Amino acid sequence: MDTQTAAIATQWAQTAFVQGTMVLLIVLMVRDMIWKGIALWKAGTKKQLTRFIIIFLLNTLGILPIIYLIFFQKKEVEITTKTAPKAAKTTKKK
């Protein structure tokens, strides 16, 4: 291979690397925005201001929001009430 062909091959490889890196960064940014949005929504609706601020300010590629959603989310407990059957009313006639 002559030097001109080697230079073209090197330039092509560098361009492919840069394009691949850009695609990876875009995918990671979209992933982070999705996880951060879900975590911020949950923290905001549950009035957890401290966690909301921490998740909002720190950029961790989605790791902190995932940890919050899995481990620190307060579990919603479904409360069911059982009603006793109404007691039969007895009336006395005079």
Residue 10 lies in a domain: no
Structure token pair of residue 51:
């966690």
Domain span holding position 40: 27-74
Spatial CA neighbour of 39 closest among 82, 90, 73, 8: 73
Residue 15 lies in a domain: no
74-94 per-position pLDDT tens digit: 666 566 666 655 555 556 655
Residue 4 lies in a domain: no
Residue 19 lies in a domain: no
Residue 59 lies in a domain: yes
Say how far apart CA 57 and CA 14 lie, in whole Å: 34
Residue 43 lies in a domain: yes
Cα distances from 30 to residues 9, 21, 35, 58, 60, in angstroms, run 32, 14, 9, 16, 13
Structural domains in the chain (count): 1
Residue 51 lies in a domain: yes
Asked whether 25 and 50 are in contact (CB, 8 A), the reply is no
pTM of the predicted protein model = 0.54
25-68 per-position pLDDT tens digit: 889 888 888 888 898 898 889 888 888 888 888 767 677 777 88
